[in-house]
Amino acid sequence: MKRVNTVRYVTTRLALLLSSLLSVAIPAGYLIMLYEHQTAVLETEAESTAFAVSQLISANPEYWRFEQPRLEGFLSQQKAADRQAESRRIVDTDRVVLAQAAEGLEYPVITRSHPLYDSGKIVARLEISRSLRPFLVNALIMGCIGLGFGAVSFFLLRVFPLGALDEALKSLQESEDKFSAIAATAADAIIVMDPHGRITYWNDAAERMFGYTFSEAAGRELHTLIAPATFHESYQKGFSRFVEAGQGPAIGGPLEFTALRKNGTHFPIEVSTSAVELMGAWHAVGIIRDITERKKTENELLKLEKLESLGVLAGGIAHDFNNLLTVILGNISLAQLETDQQSTTYSKLVNGEKAVLTARQLTQQLLTFAKGGAPIKKTSSLRDIIGDSCSFSLSGSNVKCRLSFAEDLMPADVDAGQISQVMHNLILNAAQAMPQGGSIQVSCTNAASGPGEAQPLDQCPYLKISVADQGHGIPKENLSKIFDPYFTTKPKGSGLGLATSYSIVSRHGGYISVDSEPGRGAVFHVYLPASRQPLPLRETQARERINGAGRILVMDDEEAVRTIAGEMLQSLGYEPAFARDGEEALALYRDASAVGAPFDAVIMDLTVPGGMGGKDAVKKLLAIDPRARVIVASGYSNDPVLAEFRSHGFQGMIAKPFTLEVFSSTLTAALEGTRRSG
Amino acid sequence: MPTFRRSTIAAGIVLASLCIVPRLLIAAGGARTIVVGGTGCALAAMEDMAQGFQKKHPEFTVKIIPSLGSGGGIKGVLAGSLDLALSARPLTDREKSQGASAKEYARTPFIFVVAKGSQTHAVTLQQAVSIYAGDMREWPDHTPIRLVLRPEADTDSVLLKAMSPAMEQAVRTALSRDGMLVAITDQENADMLVKVNGAFGAASLAQIVSEKRQLLPLSLDGVAPSLTALARGAYPYYKFFYAITGPRSNAGARLFVDFLSSAEGRTILAKTGHLVPRGAR
């Protein structure tokens, strides 16, 4: 703005000067021309009149001096009536006035004379004087006109050409202001160097990034300022090439370097350099970005990629492990049928069954970790989930868990595996906050917002689970970050525990928060919507086996699973048949229907490597027989298809591994639908 | 005898002296020269007058200098450079106080003239006024009228303006017009009137006659401008001639003035267009 004001000041003064000159030049020029004209006129008149008077003198050279009246009449006659006032006189060589025709003349007066001759000898002079006063009046008028011209010219000069210049400068200034504003507010450092590599521009971001103010950086060579000593030589070589041709390895970019701050610390930067030719010399414009955070993110992404790979591996292991557990659990269930319930063998089989079920929880955790996924919600009691999670998580720990449940605790529609994972994470964190041991207070209550209270959930009523520890608490500055992925304060933490918990609770339509004060421990609160449904009978009667009858087709790629499933079906009174994949299942189903011995139900594995899985097969099967009863089974217990099995055409769902009781109840429920509809 | 002879010789010497001294004085010049100058219209007649005077007074030489005008002549007399001035105007009080004295020796008709050969022979005062006013610019035969003027202070202009108020205004109008012919001296005036085709102007009869100018005096309002008409009073416009002497004028100048009034002088004047006043003798 200062330069615009300076130029505006100069241009205005210049316009004023030119206008003033014009204002003065017009009357002055008029006066000069008029003066010259009058001078020429008077000289001419003096000469012509003197010629006539000289003739009179020549006619009477001895006595012409007495002809005063005649001469005066002559002089008077020479003056035309329309001329301005003038005086004419004849003076001898002694300056004695011999004759005059004078009028009162106002000053200033211009006088011109011419000699009067008698036979070549000067005997007197004829003088003619004329007042310039009338011309001064005219000059004054011309002055007014000149002022008018001056004013107009000032206006024209100021408004148009100089105005245009002014506008151009304003645009330039605006452009500069924009550049300065952009450069000043840019997050990246912007640096300009002259052909000698000396810094000529250094924006605010550069000051923040490197710790040098502009006054400290200006005039210094960039590499001596920000490059570690090991890069100095290569930098100088590259810059020499740039000065010569405006080219070099650093032009374009971006290139990554390690830079040095004023405080001596190193940090990674990314440099994009461009060449600008100014006044025939190459100037370098460098845009430098501090990529410390990006590097961290890249590392985290790398870590995530590793985790994802691990997740895929874990998912595959869990699937296979579930299949194995299915066989084990099925065999235990069948063994239990053949064993006296009062015998020690039976109790051992029960313990084995519990261990398999616990192992199933582990595989579910692995699957949740591997894929996340939509929760497979079932109306469940949180009391059992929380209790099991506490005992499982604190097994072998010096931390005790004190549980507290509302007597009338409402059930909740939850994925037991995922909620178990949440509780496992919270309890594990609480335990790790108390390395010297202690107790964790876990409570679960029915809750509803009171008047004026903030409501954590849209849905009411809800259940509130609180996990309180007696640790050192969470620093205030970390409270807003603890649910961020990869945020951790533990040396070996992944930063995924609480993030996964947050994700799981959110997918359940719930909310998780934390209260903590340093030195007073931390309390995590999990809010989950309460279910208005009663606890399902299956769960309450999970130990009941239901026998049935009918032909059941089992489709699974694992032979062991087919075998145990077949044995379990036979033990329940069903007639099993087997298929390895979807195509075979469809063919068998079609053939059975064709010979008049159709299947009453089909149990399909969701995933068949290299073949048609349950998801596709059920569609084709329903196309053949819309009344077909199909149950989906999968080791990927967190697969979204299981969560939404009805929308895919299945009448039932069973997660591997399953007990004989769960298997029979699921099958019975599916077949009951057949009978009701039939 | 010796006494007689001495007396005779002495008488002879005195007589001789009486006869020789004037001759010597004449031969010496200077003090016996009468320098005459003034209005130009009187000078030609004065040449004849000077010849008559010098015959009667051979001891004097009359020198007539070219026209100085009436005022110039009076100044010359008062300055002692002229012995006698001829003026067409009377003396002013100032000039009288300086010792100048004037004697009217003649009058002459102040007339309008055209060149001889012109078809115009008469003019009325009204026509003359129209010519001076610029209203009438052609003669009846459609030839242009070229008016010759005199400077405003000149005696002729004064006399013209005195003819009538209309003429006074007309003269002023004429003098204010650009490109007019203005004659400074009487001789120049007469020259222009003779030479300029279609010229019309004023002059004195005495000048025309004495200088034998080829100019035709015009009848004015039907009256021919003759000395007789002037004497009779039928022609009302005339010019005076005064003989002016000053305190430094010599005795010869007074003799010359006396000669102007002499019979011989009156004859010369009458021949040259002058009317001698009755009381001039």
Query: Per-residue pLDDT tens for B84-94?
Result: 999 999 999 99
DSSP reduced 3-state for B129: helix
Alpha helices in A395-551 (DSSP H): 416-432, 497-507, 537-540
Question: Cis before residue A461, ω within 30 degrees of 0?
Answer: yes
Nearest chain A residue to B75 by CA: give it: A66
A513 C-beta neighbours (distance < 10 Å), count: 14
The span from the CA of A626 to the CA of A641, in Å, is 19
In angstroms, how far is the first alpha carbon of chain B from the final one?
Answer: 53
Which tops the pLDDT comparison, A12 or A404?
A: A404
Quickly state the pLDDT bin for A79 (edges 50, 70, 90): low
On whether any CB of chain A is under 8 Å from the CB of B46, the answer is no
Residues in A closer than 8 angstroms to B37, CB to CB, are: 63, 66
Per-residue pLDDT tens for A179-209?
888 888 888 898 888 878 788 888 888 998 9
Burial of A45 (0-12, 13-18, 19+ CB in 10 A): buried
In DSSP terms, B64 is beta-bridged to B36
Angle between helix axes A382-393 and A344-371 (nearest 10 degrees) is 90
Confirm or reject contact between B186 and chain A (CB < 8 A). Answer: no
| Helix (H), strand (E) at residue B214 | none
CA distances from A508 to A214, A393, A496, A498, B179 (A): 55, 22, 18, 15, 126
pLDDT value for A369: 60
**A253 confidence band (pLDDT: 50, 70, 90):** low
Using alpha carbons, select from A287, A249, A251 the residue that is nearest to residue A271. A287
Burial degree of A302 (CB within 10 A; 0-12, 13-18, 19+):
exposed
From the list A70, A76, A81, the residue facing B72 with the nearest CB is A70
Q: Which fold, B109-231?
A: D-Maltodextrin-Binding Protein; domain 2 (3.40.190)
The region of weakest confidence among A278-287, A553-562, A669-678, B28-37 is: A669-678
Residue A655 scores a pLDDT above 90: no
Distance from CA of B158 to the nearest CA of A (A): 12
Residue B161 has a pLDDT of 95
**Would you call B82 and A77 a contact, using CB atoms and an 8 Å cutoff?**
no
What is the ipTM metric for this complex?
0.72
Please give the pLDDT value at position A244: 62
Give the CA distances from residue A309 to residues A296, A422, B101, in Å, rounded to whole numbers and listed in that order.
20, 22, 156
**DSSP-assigned states of every residue in B225-256:** --HHHHHHTSS--EEEEEEEE-TT--HHHHHH
A291, A269 contact by CB (below 8 A)? yes
B153 touches chain A (CB under 8 A): yes
What is the distance in angstroms between the Cα of A88 and the nearest Cα belonging to chain B?
15
What one-character-per-residue DSSP string does A109-151 give? EEEEEEEEEETTEEEEEEEEEEE-HHHHHHHHHHHHHHHHHHH
Q: What is the pLDDT of residue A212?
A: 92
The answer to whether the CB atoms of A70 and B68 lie below 8 A apart is: yes
Angstrom distance (rounded) from CA A566 to CA A587: 19
pLDDT given for residue B19 in this prediction: 42
Residues A79, A48 contacting (CB under 8 angstroms): no
Kindly state the percentage of chain A with pLDDT values over 90: 16
Mutate to test the interface with A, among B84, B158, B184 (most CBs of A within 10 A): B184
Mean pLDDT of chain A: 82
| Other beta carbons less than 10 A from residue A161's beta carbon | 12
Contacts of B184 in chain A (CB under 8 A): 56, 70, 73-74
Beta strand extents in A327-416 (DSSP E only):
378-380, 399-405, 412-414
Spatial separation of the C-alpha atoms in residues B181 and B187, rounded to whole Å: 14
Residue-wise pLDDT tens digits, A597-620: 899 999 999 888 888 999 999 999
Alpha helices in A494-533 (DSSP H): 497-507
CB contact under 8 A, A70 and B175: no
Mean pLDDT in residue range A449-454 = 56
Poorest-pLDDT segment among A230-234, A628-632, A649-653: A230-234
Separation in Å, CA of B72 to nearest CA in chain A: 4
Q: What is the mean pLDDT of residues A500-520?
A: 85
Burial A9-20 (b: 16+ CB within 10 A, else e): eebeeebeebbe
Q: A518: cis peptide before it, omega within 30°?
A: no
The beta-carbon neighbor of A60 closest among B66, B70, B75 is B66
Q: Which backbone phi and psi does A514 adopt, to 5 degrees? A: -140, 140
Please work out, in degrees rounded to the nearest 5, the angle formed at the alpha carbon of residue B73 by the alpha carbons of B68 and B76.
110
- For residue A166, is pLDDT > 50? yes
**CB–CB of A67 and B153 under 8 A?**
no
Mean pLDDT of A372-393: 81
Q: Determine whether the interchain pair A76/B71 forms a contact, defined as Cβ–Cβ distance below 8 Å.
A: no
Q: What does B10-59 look like in DSSP terms, one character per residue?
A: HHHHHHHHHHHHHHHHHHH-STTEEEEEE-GGGHHHHHHHHHHHHHH-TT
Least confident of A122-131, A244-253, A371-380, B43-52: A244-253
Residue A540 pLDDT exceeds 70: no
- A292-345 pLDDT, tens digit each: 888 877 876 776 677 667 667 777 787 788 888 888 988 898 888 888 888 888
Is there a contact between B68 and A67 if contact means CB atoms under 8 Å apart? yes
Residues of A in contact with B186 (CB under 8 A): none
A66–B73 CB contact, under 8 Å: yes
How many cross-chain Cβ pairs, A to B, lie less than 8 Å apart?
A: 70
CATH architecture of B8-107+239-271: 3-Layer(aba) Sandwich (3.40)
The encoded tokens of residue A19 equal: 């206008």
Confidence of residue A82 (pLDDT cuts 50, 70, 90): low
The per-residue pLDDT for A592 is 92
Q: Compute chain B's Rg from CA coordinates.
A: 23
Q: What is the token pair recorded at A29?
A: 């020029």
Q: Which residues of A touch B (CB under 8 A)?
A: 56, 59-60, 62-64, 66-70, 72-74, 76-77, 80-82
- Residue of A63, A72, A98 for testing the chain B interface, max B β-carbons within 10 Å: A63
Residue A13 has pLDDT above 90, yes or no: no
Q: Which residues of B touch A63 (CB under 8 A)?
A: 37, 65-66, 68, 72, 76, 81-82
Cβ A617 vs Cβ A633: under 8 Å: no
What confidence score (pLDDT) does residue A375 get? 75
Task: Average the pLDDT over A462-485 and give the result.
Answer: 86
pLDDT tens figures, A523-536: 999 999 998 887 76
Q: Where are the domains of chain B?
A: 8-107+239-271, 109-231
Query: Is B245 touching A (CB cutoff 8 A)?
Result: no
| A69-86 CB burial, b ≥16 within 10 A, e <16 | bbbbbbbbbbbeeeeebb
Contacts of B66 in chain A (CB under 8 A): 59-60, 63
More confident call, B51 vs A1: B51
What is the model's pLDDT at position B18?
Answer: 41
Contact B82 A66 (CB under 8 A): yes
Does residue B280 sit at the A interface (CB-CB below 8 Å)? Answer: no
Nearest beta carbon to residue B72 from set A68, A80, A82: A68
Nearest beta carbon to residue B69 from set A67, A81, A82: A67
B94 touches chain A (CB under 8 A): no
The pLDDT tens digits for A391-437 are: 878 877 888 889 999 888 899 989 887 888 899 889 988 988 888 88
**CA pair distance B257, B36, nearest whole angstrom:** 11
Q: Report the amino acid identity of residue A163.
A: G
Contact B71 A62 (CB under 8 A): no
Across the interface, do A73 and B152 touch by the CB < 8 Å criterion?
Answer: yes
Backbone angles phi, psi at B18, to 5 degrees: -60, -35
Q: Do A56 and B184 touch (CB under 8 A)?
A: yes
Report how far residue B70's alpha carbon sits from residue B39's, in angstroms, rounded to the nearest whole number: 5
Q: How far apart are CA A448 and CA A461, in angstroms?
A: 5
Positive/negative CA dihedral, A411, A414, A420, A422 = negative
Q: At how many degrees (to 10) do helices A68-78 and B69-79 cross? A: 140
Q: Among A69, A77, A82, select the one facing B69 at the smallest CB separation.
A: A69
Strand, helix or coil at A278?
strand
- pLDDT, residue A455, reads 60
> How far is CA A459 from each of CA A380, A409, A415, A531, rounded to the nearest angstrom?
18, 17, 18, 10
Does residue A515 register a pLDDT over 50? yes
Across the interface, whether the CB atoms of A68 and B67 are under 8 A apart is answered no
Q: Can the peptide bond before residue A108 be classed as cis, meaning omega within 30 degrees of 0?
A: yes
What's the pLDDT score for residue B23? 43
Do B8-107+239-271 and B109-231 come out as alike in CATH topology? yes
What are residue B109's DSSP bridge partners?
B238
**In this model, does residue A514 exceed pLDDT 70?**
yes
User: Closest to A73 (Cβ–Cβ): which among B81, B82, B153?
Assistant: B153
* pLDDT bracket for residue A678 (50, 70, 90): very low
Q: How far is CA A290 from CA A122, A239, B210, in A?
A: 103, 22, 130
Q: B65 at the A interface (CB within 8 A)?
A: yes
B179 touches chain A (CB under 8 A): no
In the structure encoding, which two tokens stand for residue A281, read together? Answer: 């010399």
**Which residues in chain B come in under a pLDDT of 50?**
1-4, 7, 10-31, 280-281
Query: In this predicted model, what pLDDT tens digit does every residue of A90-139 receive, in sequence order?
Result: 998 888 888 888 777 888 888 999 998 887 788 899 998 888 877 778 87
Which of A26, A24, A35, A25 lies closest to A134 in space, CA to CA?
A35
Contact B151 A56 (CB under 8 A): no
Q: Residues A552, A577: contact at Cβ < 8 Å?
A: yes
- Residue position matching structure tokens 């519990």: A354
| Beta-carbon separation of A80 and B178 below 8 A | yes
- The residue type found at B21 is V
Please name the helix (run of DSSP H) or strand (run of DSSP E) that holds residue A523, with its range, or none. strand A522-529
Yes or no, beta carbons of A70 and B182 under 8 Å apart:
no
- The residue that leads in pLDDT, A370 or B49, is B49
What CA–CA distance (Å, rounded) separates A330 from A658? Answer: 7
Q: Do A66 and B151 touch (CB under 8 A)?
A: no
pLDDT over 70, % of chain A:
88
Whole-number Å distance between alpha carbons of A389 and A364:
13
Peptide bond preceding A254 in cis form (omega within 30 of 0): yes
- Chain B residues whose CB is inside 8 A of the A69 CB are 69-72, 153
> φ, ψ for residue A102 (rounded to 5)?
-110, 145
Residue pointed to by tokens 């003033």: A20
